[in-house]
Amino acid sequence: QSALTQPASVSGSPGQSITISCTGTSSDVGGYNYVSWYQQHPGKAPKLMIYVVSNRPSGVSNRFSGSKSGNTASLTISGLQAEDEADYYCSSYTSSGPYVFGTGTKVTVL
Amino acid sequence: QVQLVQSGAEVKEPGASVKVSCTATGYTFSDYYIHWVRQAPGQGLEWMGWIRPNSGDTKFAQKFQGWVTMTRDTSIGTAYMELSRLRSDDMAVYYCARDPGGSSPKFDFWGQGTLVTVSS
């Protein structure tokens, strides 16, 4: 099972919005609504930000939102803040895996 | 509150085995899957497999079949991951994570991670 494809890096200025893509196939992202997103700060464990494509756990800022179209899922961070600087990973249920992570995206706040 | 507490860092020689524990508190252990995920230095997350504590059923990524074992002791709310025949590229931080499964699968709580160093 190959990793889902994410851009290596995305950057934005404070207050701006950025979007991170997560591209898979019809056997994973496109075939199931079980896409999650995780934030990881250096030296820390990952933290759940979005689950089942677009649901936010309690305690996660509403500046984070998720969506999916075809084989590509997306995480949007609006009103970018310095504390959002971290690595972000998508994850999807797969027909074979059954789980796979994305390659990861480093978000930089300029 | 929900917590997953993992065992401490390990240093192993190539060819040895390592067993990492993950002790759950603050919820009913048997009601949630436990997944294991690893992260090599400077690399991304890699899903290894899961165990269903109420039955002991397991499912592994194809890459790890035959050399990873996942077990649990429901009496003490602890899951274990054992990796055998360690190689240098198995050096990583190993995480456990909780998942309710069903129609809302997600890794909603994570352990703090256990660093496994493989060196002669």
Q: How many CB pairs under 8 A join A and B?
A: 61
CB B13 within 8 A of CB B118: yes
- Nearest C-alpha of chain A: how many angstroms from B110? 7
Q: Concatenate the DSSP letters of all residues of B47-80 into one string.
A: EEEEE-TTT--EEE-GGGTTTEEEEEETTTTEEE
For a pLDDT cut of 90, what percent of chain B falls above it? 95
The pLDDT of residue A2 is 87
Q: Which helix (H) or strand (E) holds A38?
A: strand A35-40
A-chain CB neighbours of B95 within 8 Å are 45-46
Q: Which of B47, B105, B113 sits opposite A100 (nearest CB)?
A: B47
pLDDT digits over B78-118, tens only? 999 999 999 999 999 999 999 998 888 999 999 999 999 99
Q: What is the mean pLDDT of residues A99-107?
A: 97
- Nearest C-alpha of chain B: how many angstroms from A88? 10
Q: Going along chain B, which residue ranges are E strands? A: 3-6, 10-12, 18-25, 33-39, 45-51, 58-60, 68-73, 78-83, 92-99, 109-110, 114-118
Q: How is chain A split among helix, strand and coil, in percent rounded to 5?
A: 5, 50, 50
Tell whether B101 lies on the interface with A, counting CB pairs under 8 A: no
| Chain position carrying tokens 């009913």 | B28
Q: Do A34 and B105 touch (CB under 8 A)?
A: yes
pLDDT confidence tier of residue B22, bands split at 50, 70 and 90: very high
The pLDDT of residue B84 is 96
For a pLDDT cut of 90, what percent of chain A falls above it? 95
pLDDT digits over A5-46, tens only? 999 999 999 999 999 999 999 999 999 999 999 999 999 999
Average pLDDT along chain B: 96
The pLDDT of residue B90 is 97
pLDDT confidence tier of residue B15, bands split at 50, 70 and 90: very high
The pLDDT of residue A3 is 92
> Dihedrals φ, ψ of B19, to 5°?
-125, 120
Q: Which of B50, B104, B110 sits opposite A46 (nearest CB)?
A: B110
> Dihedrals φ, ψ of B31, to 5°?
-85, -5
Q: CA B40 to CA A17: how far, in whole Å?
A: 30
pLDDT confidence tier of residue B17, bands split at 50, 70 and 90: very high
Q: Do A98 and B107 touch (CB under 8 A)?
A: no
pLDDT at A97 exceeding the cut of 80 = no
Q: CA A22 to CA A12: how far, in whole Å?
A: 18
- Nearest C-alpha of chain A: how many angstroms from B70? 16
B-chain CB neighbours of A98 within 8 Å are 59
Q: CA A17 to CA A63: how far, in whole Å?
A: 9
The pLDDT of residue A62 is 97
Q: Which of B37, B61, B112 sits opposite A1 (nearest CB)?
A: B61
Q: Do B107 and A91 touch (CB under 8 A)?
A: yes
The pLDDT of residue A87 is 98
Return the SS3 of A54: coil
pLDDT digits over B60-82, tens only? 999 999 999 999 999 999 999 99
Tell whether B58 lies on the interface with A, counting CB pairs under 8 A: no
Tell whether A15 lies on the interface with B, counting CB pairs under 8 A: no
Q: CA A2 to CA A25: how far, in whole Å?
A: 10
| Chain position carrying tokens 């509403």 | A62
CB B9 within 8 A of CB B20: no
Q: CA B29 to CA B57: how far, in whole Å?
A: 14
pLDDT confidence tier of residue B20, bands split at 50, 70 and 90: very high
